[in-house]
Amino acid sequence: MNRKDFLRGLGIAGLGLAMPMEKSLARAKNLKIATGGSCTLIPSETTGPYPLDLSNNAAMFRQDIRESQAGALTKVTLKIISTNDCEPIQNARVDLWHCNAYGYYSGYTTSGQNGSINYAGQTWLRGIQMTDANGEVAFTTIFPGWYSGRVTHMHFQIFLSSVLQATSQLTFPVAEKNALYAANTPYSAYGADPTSLASDNIFSNGYAVQLATLTYNSATSSYECFMEVAINALSTGLWSLEPETGGQFKLKQNYPNPHKGRTTIPFSLTNTSDVVISLWDLTGKKVAEVVQNDLSEGEHAINIDLQGLGIPVGNYAYQLQVSNSNGVFRQCKMMTAQ
């Protein structure tokens, strides 16, 4: 099983082509953000002029999205919660993208600090992750620069079982952002961000609930930003249909979760099938595989011992692949280490 097949189970490949980002059945109108324990509705935002459909690019499932881009090391953590009860949502797919330190986006010809440059075919500063048991995803990146007409920002989208639930943007506190620019190269050569939040065409109608934290961690010599985002997971009900399974199986959450190295993956089969469970680390590398052939219809459970499989205790995406006379079907979920 290759990485492209893994992304099919995550609902990224194949279904991403059937449900384009801008035409997905679930729109982003249900996006909310929670601050201080209360969920506050914010408007959806445009994907902007520089999104990329990376549904078939297996390399995009990654935590570190920097590639060769230079800039201030930054860890971005998003916590996805439900507007119904403000509880974490696990197994949500989160796509994140932003410009580089000079204001350019990968995949396009854009204007930045050094004029117009063509970065077609490039994919830096774009990535995909799945939320863990705490509803969190973390990306290692660089802090974005600014470009004319827009205040510094990042873009993100959230999917549940291949259905687009939210599209929005986040920004940063002005004082902290400009202090970062002054203290780090190459940003310092271009000065403070000249666009105010009040004049930005996205945030001018309000930005308080789209403001991520921004702090410096001296222990890791990096910046950290955090934002809690709530989505109305019940708004369409479409995601619960799990279209990628083809009605051939039901993959359930592993237990215990979080785990300490041993956990059980339960699932049910509609028909007699060959089953493969594969484990993938957060860089998108397959690290283990368990094969069970000719399993009968009904309830099943496979015990996973990470030490026995020769891999360290940690967070892994696990994929169930089911093969029978009806075809090959896949789905992923995330297991979280305690």
Q: Which among 189, 185, 193 has a CA at the least distance from the CA of 73?
A: 185
Residues 197 and 50 in one domain: yes
Query: Measured between alpha carbons, how far is 115 from 285 in angstroms, rounded to an integer?
Result: 37
**Percent of the chain's residues with pLDDT above 90:** 73
The residue out of 231, 262, 292 marking a domain boundary is 231
**Percent of the chain's residues with pLDDT above 70:** 84
Residues 128 and 17 in one domain: yes
Residue 208 banded pLDDT, cuts 50, 70, 90: confident
Over residues 24-47, mean pLDDT:
54
Residues 128 and 274 in one domain: no
Residue 30 banded pLDDT, cuts 50, 70, 90: very low
Q: Which among 17, 2, 106 has a CA at the least distance from the CA of 61?
A: 2
Tokens of 104: 């350019």
Query: Measured between alpha carbons, how far is 153 from 212 in angstroms, rounded to an integer?
Result: 10
Q: Residue 30 CA to chain centroid, in angstroms?
A: 18
Residue 26 banded pLDDT, cuts 50, 70, 90: very low
83 domain residue, yes or no: yes
Q: Residue 209 CA to chain centroid, in angstroms?
A: 20
Residues 184 and 284 in one domain: no
Whether residue 58 is predicted with pLDDT greater than 50 in this model: the reply is yes
38 domain residue, yes or no: yes
Looking at per-residue confidence, does 31 or 175 come out higher?
175
The residue out of 231, 261, 278 marking a domain boundary is 231
DSSP 107: T
The Cβ of residue 222 has, within 10 Å, a number of other Cβ atoms equal to 16
Residues 187 and 47 in one domain: yes
Looking at per-residue confidence, does 39 or 9 come out higher?
39
Residue 2 banded pLDDT, cuts 50, 70, 90: low
Residues 7 and 152 in one domain: yes
Q: What is the mean pLDDT of the chain?
A: 87
* pLDDT score of 243: 61
Residues 136 and 165 in one domain: yes
In sequence order, the β-bridge partners of residue 267 are: 251, 300
94 domain residue, yes or no: yes
236 domain residue, yes or no: no
Whether residue 158 is predicted with pLDDT greater than 80 in this model: the reply is yes
Residues 129 and 60 in one domain: yes
Residues 204 and 248 in one domain: no
In sequence order, the β-bridge partners of residue 285 are: none
The residue out of 231, 263, 291 marking a domain boundary is 231
Say which CATH number the domain at 75 has. 2.60.130.10
100 domain residue, yes or no: yes
Query: Measured between alpha carbons, how far is 243 from 290 in angstroms, rounded to an integer?
Result: 24
Count of domains observed in the chain: 2
Residues 164 and 261 in one domain: no
Say which CATH number the domain at 302 has. 2.60.40.2550
Whether residue 33 is predicted with pLDDT greater than 50 in this model: the reply is no
* pLDDT score of 239: 47
Whether residue 201 is predicted with pLDDT greater than 90 in this model: the reply is yes
237 domain residue, yes or no: no
Residue pair 31/42 in contact (Cβ under 8 Å)? The answer is yes
Strand pairing class (115-118; 215-217):
unpaired
Reduced 3-state DSSP string for 11-24 = CCCCHHHHCCHHHC
Residue pair 168/153 in contact (Cβ under 8 Å)? The answer is no
Phi then psi dihedrals of residue 147, to 5 deg: -140, 160
Domain hosting 311: range is 242-335
Residue 258 identity: P
Residue pair 273/291 in contact (Cβ under 8 Å)? The answer is no
Per-residue pLDDT tens for 213-253?
Answer: 999 999 999 999 999 998 877 654 444 556 678 899 999 99
